[in-house]
Amino acid sequence: MYQIKIPLFSFLVKLILVLFFPFVILIAKFKKIIFFNGNKEILLTHFGAIGDTLICIPYVHLLKKKLPRYKINFLTSDRGAYQILKRKKDIDNVIFFQQYKNGNVKSRFNREGNRLINQIKLFYLYPIYVLKIIFSRIGIGASLGPFHEAGTFSNLLFDISGIKISIGCFGNFKNSLSKPVKENVLDEHWNQIYMRIIETVLNELKISLEDDFERLIKKKSFEITYDEKKTIINNIYSKGLKKPFMISVIHPGGATYVNSKLWGVDKFAVIADYLYEKYNMNIFITGSSSEKYLAKSVSHKMKNPCYIVAGEYDIPMVASLLDLTTICITNDTSILHLANVMETKYILSIWGPTNPMKIGEKNDRNYFIKSPIECSPCITLDAGDIKKKCDREIKEECLKIIEPEKVRNVIDKIFSNLE
């Protein structure tokens, strides 16, 4: 007997769904008109990684405090972010958005084109997500970005899912939103961007921000339990740390998908040795499993001993380590934001293609080393924007010209304040 192959069967199912698309639009319009008043659910979409998620969580907390009777659904496409969000009691439902290989948001929604065709494309690629939202009680949607393709996807999703109040400032088809946020907000710091989006949601529901909003957004994005902290203390002391038990975290990893944000393992090794020899630091080298080779490279180039925990420590363990850390040296990557949340005593970050004035936290604990090259920073919003790919003869020259001596000088300045 002839059997339909799975790819063909899948195609036929999706073809039927596409033919059903006009009915989906009608149901969505009907939902907007008839059922909105009873819809006490909010959908927040966010396609950022761990660092972006840690920045936006306090504003989600603010939203929940102002709307305690609303159910907050948070859609994320990053597994690390998903783990962090699942720990937050302010978020009622965390949805992991599994992007298909042929349905990647960045590649599929990177052009404006025709709105109807893009709507059909979205429904064809992700029919289950659309139908689930249509038949849910979600009546409010807000796109938190953090890049334009994610905004385009969200704007289309809100429209064809019957979400009456839709808010955002990213991507194409913003005219389909019920309340687009002014695009000039994207020139501001990410804290202000998230704040403006959440504030717009509250304004649409006639909820005013009171004077206590600054207190509400100071809630930690990530908190460790007593047991998690106890586990890491036992773990690090079992390694035989040298006294006085001061810890320095070295994080050589980071994003490389368009313009590399990596300073270089040779330079991190020089700094790690400097901290060990001059300031009697115990050196811990962190990173994900895929960055373990970077940690090993730093260790191999060092003259002194260190502890490689890349790939060994999960997010709660790294957070617990940062809670005990004196100084963290890192590229612009997720651990920078995690160190801020855990209130690591000093954080020294090295910046090339990205802008610390837009992403970094401004406080007395942060020290930014910026590239002096004239084209830095070249990335203003999305670190994955292919149009911003470095076209200099020496790729990522902005980072390569930052010498260890400059970092050593900042370290000396930090520790001179302790004397």
* Largest separation between any pair of C-alpha atoms in the chain: 84
Residue 34 has pLDDT above 60, yes or no: yes
- Hey, what are 233's tokens? 């203390």
Task: Please report, as a single letter, which amino acid is at residue 22.
Answer: P
Structure confidence by residue, pLDDT tens digits, 95-114: 999 887 667 888 888 887 89
How many other β-carbons are positioned within 10 Å of the β-carbon of residue 160? 23
Q: Which helix (H) or strand (E) holds 168?
A: strand 165-168
Residue 88 has pLDDT above 50, yes or no: yes
- Hey, what are 85's tokens? 């969000």
* Pair 172, 155: CB distance under 8 Å: yes
DSSP string, 59-105: HHHHHHHH-TTSEEEEEE--HHHHHHHHT-TT-SEEEE----GGG-H
Could you list the beta-strand ranges (E) of 204-334. 247-251, 282-285, 307-308, 327-331
Give the Å distances, CA to CA, from 277 to 26, 120, 344, 345, 408. 70, 61, 21, 20, 12
Q: Mean of the pLDDT values across residues 214-243?
A: 82
Q: What is the CA radius of gyration of the chain?
A: 23
* pLDDT (0 to 100) of residue 4: 45
pLDDT bucket at 1, cuts 50 / 70 / 90: very low
Q: Which of 89, 30, 101, 93 is nearest to 65 (CA)?
A: 89
Residue 116 has pLDDT above 80, yes or no: yes
DSSP-assigned beta bridge partners for residue 241? none
The overall average pLDDT reported for the chain is 88
pLDDT bucket at 418, cuts 50 / 70 / 90: low
- Of the listed ranges 194-208, 228-242, 270-284, 295-309, the least confidently predicted one is 228-242
Instruction: Give me the phi and psi of 57, to 5 degrees please.
Output: -55, -45
Phi-psi label, residue 171: left if phi above 0, alpha if psi -120 to 50, beta otherwise: left
Q: Mean of the pLDDT values across residues 317-330?
A: 96
Q: What is the pTM of this model?
A: 0.91
Treating both helix axes as pointing N-terminal to C-terminal, what angle do 79-86 and 315-323 enclose, rounded to 10 degrees? 70
Residue 384 has pLDDT above 50, yes or no: yes
Q: What is the DSSP letter of 347?
A: E
Rounded distance between C-alpha atoms, residue 24 and residue 162, angstroms: 9
Q: Strands 179-180, 307-308: parallel, antiparallel or unpaired by DSSP? A: unpaired
Q: Mean of the pLDDT values across residues 266-272?
A: 97
Task: Please report, as a single letter, which amino acid is at residue 73.
Answer: N
pLDDT bucket at 216, cuts 50 / 70 / 90: low
- Hey, what are 166's tokens? 């839709």
* Pair 167, 181: CB distance under 8 Å: yes
Q: What domains, with CATH codes, occur in the chain?
A: 13-216 (3.40.50.2000), 227-416 (3.40.50.2000)
